[in-house]
Amino acid sequence: MSQWGKFEAFVEELMETEQIPGVAVALSENGKIIYKKGFGKSDVETNEPVTAETIFGIASVTKSFTALAIMKLVEEGKLQLDDAVTVYLPNFRLSGYDNIEDIKIHHLLSHTSGIATMKRMEQLNGFEEHLCYINEIERTCLGKPGEYICYNNDMFLLLGAIIEKVTGENYQDFIHKLLLDPLKMNRTTYSLRELHNFENVTMPYILEDGKVVACEWPTLGNYAVGGGIRSTVTDLLQYGNVFVGALEKELIGQSYLSKMAEPVHRISGNSFYGYGLQTTPHYSGVTVVEHGGGQPGVSSNFGFIPERGIVAAVLTNRSDVSANAIWLAAINTALDLPIVQKRSTEQYYDINPKQLQRMVGTYRSGEGTEVDISLEHQTITATVSGKTYELRASDERTLVLLPIEKPIRFFFDGENDAWAIFLGLRMLVRSTSLASVR
C-alpha cells in the first residue's frame, strides 16, 4: 500500500470510530497541489459525497485571517502591536479593572489579555454593543496581561473593531479586499445568505445521544471575526500560499507573516501560541504552524511547513472530532514520517496520592465548559463534557487524559492547592474542591 493509501485507511478508520460523516483534505507544495480528496458524505440524507470543493465551516481558522489583516496594518504603519486597545477603542473599559491601558493589541492577538473566557453572546452584531457587554459583564481576571494564555473570543473580536476604526471600512469587506478577492477564493464567504446560494455545501452535524444529527449553521454575530469563514480545502491552500511565499505577487512582507508564527506563550509540550497561529518549532527538523477550529457542525485544521512550502487543510462536518489528528497524519505522510507520529509525547511521572488530592475539584469556564477531577481508590479521573477519562501524570503539575493523551496543566496558589487548569487553550477556574471527593 502506498503512503497515501495508508493515510486514506487511517482517515476512514478514524471516521468510523468518531462517527464523522464527511472529511475533505488537500495539500500543496510550493503552490502545486500534491493531494486532494473528499471522504464520506456532505449530506447523509441525500448521500451527496464530499469533494475537495465542498464548502465547510472553518471556525477558528478564521483567526489567522484577522491576525494577518492586523499585521498588514502594522506593515502600513497604521498601528503598532504594542498600542493599547484603548488608543483605537476609547470605550473599552472593564469594570473594576484599573490598568486598562496595559492590554495591548499584542495581547488580543495571542489570547494573553489575562481575562478568562466569557459567556458567548452571539445575538450581538455591533462592536459598540459588544464593548458594552464586555465592560459590564462579571468576568474572571486571571492575572496581568501576558502572564497567562486563555482563549477569549470576546477579546479577540475587538480586533475586528480596531480594523474598522483604522481603515474606515467594514471588517468583512476589508478581509475580502485584502485576501479573499486577490487570492480568488471564490468559494469562501462569511455570509450565511451567500452560503445558501452555493452548490456543494455540507450539512453540519453534531452528536446527540450517541447519534449523528444535523444542526443549523451558527449565526455567530460579532464572533465571525474569530470564526465566521466558510470555505473549501482548495481555497485554503490558496490562502496558505501567502505564508509559504508561493504567490506571484506578495500580499504582505514575509517578516510580518513570520511574526504571526513566533512563539508568544507555551500551550503544551513543544507547541506555542503566536498570533492566530500555533507553532511547534522542532518537529523532525521542520516547523509546524497551524490552527484548528470547532463550532456546532465543524471541526477543522489548517497550517503549513514554511521550510518545505507545504500547506495542508482538513475540514469536517461534525463537531468535536479529531480534525487535527487527520491534519497531522497528512503532514506526516507528505514528510515521509510515521503517520501516527505526534507533535510531542507526554512523559510518565509517578505521582503520589497527596499530590493528586490537591487537584481534585470542579473547574469551569465562562463559556460553560465544566471539568470534574475526582479521586477514588487512588484512581484519578476527569469528566469533560459528560465523558469520563482516566488520568495519568506526566509531571507534578500535569495530568493526561487517556487514551487520547491530551494534557491538563494545573495552576497552584500559595497554599499549594489548584485554582485553575489549562485545557483546550482555555483556563478553567476551580469552583469547588469538595463536591468530587469520595
pLDDT at 213: 96
Tell the burial category of 249 from Cβ atoms under 10 Å away from its Cβ (0-12, 13-18, 19+): exposed
- 361-376 pLDDT, tens digit per residue, is 999 999 889 999 999 9
Would the CA dihedral through 213, 216, 222, 226 be positive or negative?
Answer: positive
- Of 130, 178, 137, 180, which is closest to residue 156 (Cα–Cα)? 130
Q: Is the pLDDT of residue 433 over 60?
A: no
- Residue whose cell numbers read 492577538: 109
pLDDT at 434: 35
Kindly give, in sequence order, each residue whose CB lies less than 8 Å from that of residue 405, ignoring residues fewer than 6 positions away: 342, 345, 346
Among 64-68, 264-268, 313-317, 326-330, the minimum mean pLDDT is found in: 264-268
Contact between 266 and 272 under an 8 Å Cβ cutoff? The reply is: yes
Quick one: cell of 424?
483546550
For 16-43, the DSSP string reads HHHT--EEEEEEEETTEEEEEEEEEEEE
Which is more confidently placed, 28 or 387? 28
Separation CA 384–CA 352 (nearest Å)? 23
- Of 414, 415, 418, which is closest to residue 428 (Cα–Cα)? 418
pLDDT at 435: 35
- 81-130 pLDDT, tens digit per residue, is 999 999 999 999 998 888 999 999 999 999 999 999 999 999 998 999 99
CB atoms within 10 A of CB 135: 15
Tell the burial category of 155 from Cβ atoms under 10 Å away from its Cβ (0-12, 13-18, 19+): buried
Q: Please check whether residues 38 and 184 belong to one and the same domain.
A: yes
Q: Is the pLDDT of residue 225 over 80?
A: yes
Kindly give, in sequence order, each residue whose CB lies less than 8 Å from that of residue 14, ignoring residues fewer than 6 positions away: 20, 322, 325, 326
Would you say residue 75 lies in a domain? yes
Q: Please check whether residues 118 and 140 belong to one and the same domain.
A: yes
Separation CA 73–CA 109 (nearest Å)? 14
pLDDT at 269: 83
Q: What angle do CA 127, 132, 134 make, to 5 degrees?
A: 90
Collapse the DSSP code of 369 into the 3-class scheme (helix H, G, I; strand E, B; otherwise coil) and give the result.
coil
Separation CA 22–CA 212 (nearest Å)? 12
Q: Please check whether residues 202 and 322 belong to one and the same domain.
A: yes
Separation CA 399–CA 169 (nearest Å)? 46
Would you say residue 420 lies in a domain? yes
- Residue whose cell numbers read 507528505: 334
Quick one: cell of 25?
483534505
- Of 380, 362, 384, 351, which is closest to residue 429 (Cα–Cα)? 362
- φ and ψ of 168, to 5 deg: 75, 10
- 349-365 pLDDT, tens digit per residue, is 999 888 999 999 999 99
Total H helices, total E strands in the chain: 14, 21
pLDDT at 432: 58
Separation CA 21–CA 204 (nearest Å)? 9
CATH of the domain at 32: 3.40.710.10
Of 270, 302, 334, the last residue of a domain is 334
Which is more confidently placed, 1 or 4? 4
Q: Please check whether residues 381 and 279 belong to one and the same domain.
A: no
- 241-266 pLDDT, tens digit per residue, is 999 999 989 999 999 999 999 999 99
Q: Is the pLDDT of residue 415 over 90?
A: no
pLDDT at 73: 98
| pLDDT confidence band for 226 (50 / 70 / 90) | very high
Q: Please check whether residues 265 and 133 belong to one and the same domain.
A: no
Would you say residue 347 lies in a domain? no
pLDDT at 431: 87
| pLDDT confidence band for 312 (50 / 70 / 90) | very high
Q: Please check whether residues 34 and 181 belong to one and the same domain.
A: yes
pLDDT at 377: 83
Q: Please check whether residues 202 and 95 belong to one and the same domain.
A: no
Domain residues for 311?
Answer: 3-60+170-334
CATH of the domain at 357: 2.40.128.50
Quick one: cell of 218?
451558527
Separation CA 180–CA 177 (nearest Å)? 7
